[in-house]
Structure 1
């Protein structure tokens, strides 16, 4: 695969082979955002982690779709969503992409669930477009209010990226994964240095979130430890917290059934 186009490389990170299936797409600026839409029920948007795709929610989406309209985008620069080679994958851009998708689907508000990067994006939307959020479910949320963005970034890169890389290798083979991983990591680190407020400032304003929020922490998550979860929860007005034993950063992949149950319970309580 040619490396002259970053978007093509990112798209090649996880290749989805769909024969005879039309995949919906949002065209925005210079990007093409692919997504799934179950079309029926109250809208529920699922946002994936760094290096992931919407496929990471396969352990939840079928059950959730029985009662909700499940919408799962591949975030810009991930999976089938192509980004321009000069794109900066900032939280603001990803949040705007997600809101543009809701506009395209003529959805005024939705429930949101996000893991890691997806959690950051969902929280940003909750702060900049509060009326679009019915409820939040967040896991792998980095709490950088004490350590600062650079310390967080170093810890994330050292502990979490290799684990995600290993997961991708097991599922999809190597290919150009190492090249793309290094490119994304450089992008991630540059954003931390140049725009820490854009990338993580949302957590310093967590108290401004009005929506009912479920926080899920893995017992051994190096980024969103149980204590970090308590810290974030204490700053939020309407939050509940679940700590899952013997799990790490990607709880929805490690304990899909339990995470699905927690999500359904939170959604039901949020509707009351």
Structure 2
């Protein structure tokens, strides 16, 4: 059973039951399904992460934009011992609940790590992959960046503050922080201090440094065998996940193209929206999945 609320005549939001979680989903457009997975920064949500992309992509695809577990209007809490596995299982369960057998994936930051793990676990259910500064790449090979440290320690010390949130977004997520409206900062901050989020922050610094090795998807022996066509987009000025991770993925993956964006940080889809929308649309159109039959027993 899902609760549906109209946003406008072309878009609806739903709250679907996926296992023991409720997942909030925005649904727009028609055509081959594209699941768009947002990043893991404080106060993140699906629609806010892709505000400059949804309408453009929905002209060609059925665009599905969930709030991932721990964020937005979805159930809170993540398995800190297997973040990628927990996210991937839930998002694959979401496709089940929608009756979608196969979909393209677009993932930013933590959403990119989730997308990559989904493809590793069930490659036959994934069409093409678009990854923007994805998490889980080379994290065991170098100390965390200052931007990633600020993300993972946002809820520690003196706790969440508007100043910490503003600094993270304007200094770490984008190249030119002056372009971020104050309304975006305020919206993100208010979302980050919801009582249920503070009680169970989705991402936090691991207590054991060895945990980073578990988060490094480039150490997964299945990665070189993954044949899903992949487009990696990375801002050269990314201060959260180093751009060198793009080269690593291109070397390890057999069907991987890499686009680098100058004067761009961690939010390629926001900072370079026009180029992003054009490149992603063209890439995904190269192979449209076959009709997606409803999965027996799925609840739409």
Instruction: Report the TM range for the smaller structure's normalisation.
Output: 0.7 to 0.9
In 1, the alpha carbon distance for the partners of 2:112 and 2:140 equals 19
Any gaps of 5 or more consecutive residues in structure 1? 1-17
Cα displacement (A) at 1:185: 6.5
Corresponding residue of 2:228? 211
Cα displacement (A) at 1:196: 3.5
In 2, the alpha carbon distance for the partners of 1:191 and 1:22 equals 40
Corresponding residue of 2:168? 163
In 2, the alpha carbon distance for the partners of 1:98 and 1:75 equals 8
Tell me if 1:88 matches 2:105: no
In 2, the alpha carbon distance for the partners of 1:227 and 1:253 equals 21
Corresponding residue of 1:111? 104
In 1, the alpha carbon distance for the partners of 2:97 and 2:140 equals 39
Tell me if 1:147 matches 2:137: no
- Relative contact order: is structure 1 or structure 2 higher (C-alpha 8 Å, sep ≥ 6)? 2
The more displaced of 101-110 and 202-211 is: 202-211
Cα displacement (A) at 1:258: 1.0
Q: 1:50 pairs with 40, 53, 56, which one?
A: 40
Corresponding residue of 1:245? 262
In 2, the alpha carbon distance for the partners of 1:91 and 1:47 equals 12
Q: Secondary structure at the match of 1:95?
A: helix
Corresponding residue of 1:231? 248
Corresponding residue of 1:222? 239
In 1, the alpha carbon distance for the partners of 2:71 and 2:45 equals 6
Tell me if 1:63 matches 2:56: yes
Identify if the C-alpha distance between structure 1 residues 222 and 66 changes in structure 2 by more than 3 Å, giving closer, same or farther.
same
Q: 2:284 pairs with 263, 267, 271, which one?
A: 267
In 2, the alpha carbon distance for the partners of 1:141 and 1:78 equals 18
In 1, the alpha carbon distance for the partners of 2:73 and 2:55 equals 20
Any gaps of 5 or more consecutive residues in structure 2? 1-6, 153-164, 172-179, 290-300
Contact 1:112 1:137 in 2 (8 A): yes
TM-score, normalised with respect to structure 1: 0.79
In 2, the alpha carbon distance for the partners of 1:61 and 1:124 equals 23
Q: Secondary structure at the match of 1:189?
A: coil
Tell me if 1:75 matches 2:68: yes
In 1, the alpha carbon distance for the partners of 2:279 and 2:17 equals 33
Contact 1:32 1:83 in 2 (8 A): no
In 1, the alpha carbon distance for the partners of 2:70 and 2:150 equals 22
Contact 1:218 1:226 in 2 (8 A): yes
In 2, the alpha carbon distance for the partners of 1:213 and 1:98 equals 19
In 1, the alpha carbon distance for the partners of 2:208 and 2:116 equals 17
Give RMSD over aligned pairs: 3.3
Contact 2:18 2:97 in 1 (8 A): no
Per-residue deviation, residues 64-98 of structure 1 (Å, max 9, x unmatched) = 111111111100111111225xx436221111111
Per-residue deviation, residues 211-255 of structure 1 (Å, max 9, x unmatched) = 000000101012444433112211110011111111001111111
Cα displacement (A) at 1:270: 3.6
